[in-house]
Amino acid sequence: MKAIDIALIAICAALYAAIGRLTDFGFTFIGVAFWPAAVIPAIFAALYGPWIGGTGAAIGIFARDMLAHGNPVLSLMAGVPPNFIMFFIIGYISTRRFDTKKLTIGALISLIVLVSGLLLPTIVLPAEFAAWTQGLSTLTIVAIFVATVGSSLAAIAYVSKRWPEWRSYSIGSIIGQGVGAAILSVMLWLYTQLFFSTIFPVPLQASLIPAIFIWTFATEIPFVLLVGPPVIKACYAAFPSLRRKQPINGEQ
């Protein structure tokens, strides 16, 4: 890596850790924080490439976790790997070109996964949900998830229509978020099977993995899709050399 790459990774990590800690508002679901800060490494990945976005995210999430709960094992299992892979994928795919048909197929697959993840834990297993949601009713939980899922799908549709030149970025975000959320969900469950901590005094049941997945995906993707493109476009306008270095789908 060049010196500039190391500097960019450090800036990405610092912003991710600081803004992530300030914007989670202390709101978590089964140990996973509300996370609008996901847009920060997504922007770095699109501008400077997958290695900078992924590495900055991995270091940043570790720093944030040490500030939030101070459990390095939990962060190294369920924080660092999914963040690196998620934003590496976003950075890699965002410079590729995809047609509308592939975009539609990807959106439909995402919808099927989202609906499946929603129905299983909230309707089939309401008792397990109540144990981890401070007594919220099944109806309330369903309403919360319907709202987050609906906003996520609306954001995907809006970006595709409003900014067609960002379709590759949108696809990369959907795939990256999906893979990252899946890894996080499984690793978080695995951590609770192997270790005891004040955060998870009892092991999570495997049936909660879809719930963690849907929460992680649905509460991050709207920010990545709606905030990312305008910021990246502004960076291109201010620094045209970035556009030549990392051309976005359909732009020269």
Q: What is the pLDDT of residues 86-103, one digit of tens each?
A: 999 999 988 777 665 666
The owner of tokens 């697959």 is 109
232 neighbors 216 (Cβ within 8 angstroms): no
Output 44 or 130, whichever has higher pLDDT.
Answer: 44
* Digit-coded pLDDT (tens) for 181-205: 889 999 999 999 998 777 788 888 7
pLDDT of residue 73: 94
pTM of the model: 0.82
pLDDT in tens, 142-185: 676 667 666 766 776 777 777 777 878 888 888 898 889 889 99
Q: Where are the domains of the chain?
A: 3-245
The SS3 of residue 28 is strand
- Other Cβ atoms less than 10 A from the Cβ of 175: the count is 18
* Better pLDDT: 22 or 113: 22
**Residue 52 in contact with residue 5, Cβ under 8 Å?**
yes
